[in-house]
Amino acid sequence: MNSIQTFAVHLLPILLAITLHEAAHAYVARYFGDTTAYAQGRMTLNPIKHIDPIGTIAIPLALFVIGSPYLFGYAKPVPVNFSRLRNPRKHSALVSLAGPGANLIMALMWLVLAIGLKKFQIQEEFFLRVAEAGVLDNLVFFAFNLFPIPPLDGGRILTSILPYQWAHRFVQLEPYGFFIVMALVMLKVLRYWMVPVMTVAHELLQALVIPLKLLL
């Protein structure tokens, strides 16, 4: 595929991956008592509400242009007042986990669609490529966001389970987290996290669709 075709194939999966990721954070935060994101209109599937000019557009486009093996980005962070959660320490971990969890579920749905397209021999190759891109892109978002450094979800989850003294020190990395992650990407170190996590997640998804394959 040429560059334009590749961009077209990944556009919808990436938009959905980012949108549902952020909406999941907002929904779970509201469920556990914080309505901040809901009040600001972030509990929505409208991608415009979640788009960040740098994280959603510029960074994925730059990675695409330089030929990065992974396309990822981020949306406007969903505002969460953790002190308003019913159990701030426990529920903050669940709010953070909701985003990657949504990506894993989407990857499963795209995989089911890809299996169905192949089984019923749908002739439109573009749709199959979009489905396969949906699996890959959501696994990338799943693994990337679970990287254990704030402000990524993995960092927030780790903060919520560390002893209070360690958590207080660890969270101070948050202003530098983005630069640390981008440096790891440029140095090609992040792949040592991405590849194993994506591989395990993909094997889990393959195990989950075995019954579907047997039925079809």
Q: Is the peptide bond before 13 cis (omega within 30 degrees of 0)?
A: no
CB 201 within 8 A of CB 194: no
Which residues contact residue 164 at a Cβ distance below 8 angstroms, ignoring those fewer than 6 apart? none
Q: Which domain holds residue 53?
A: 3-215
pLDDT of the residue at 2:
63
pLDDT of the residue at 95:
96
Averaged over successive runs of 10 residues, the pLDDT of the chain (216 residues) comes to: 76 89 94 91 84 75 69 76 91 95 97 89 82 95 94 93 91 88 85 95 94 76
Q: Which residues are catalytic?
A: 22
Domain count, the chain: 1
pLDDT of the residue at 58:
75
Give the whole-angstrom CA distance, residue 30 versus residue 32. 5
Place of tokens 């909701």: 98
Write out 109-123 in H/E/C secondary structure. Answer: HHHHHHHHHHHCCCC
CB 85 within 8 A of CB 95: yes
pLDDT of the residue at 125:
84
pLDDT of the residue at 61:
74
Give the whole-angstrom CA distance, residue 214 versus residue 216. 5
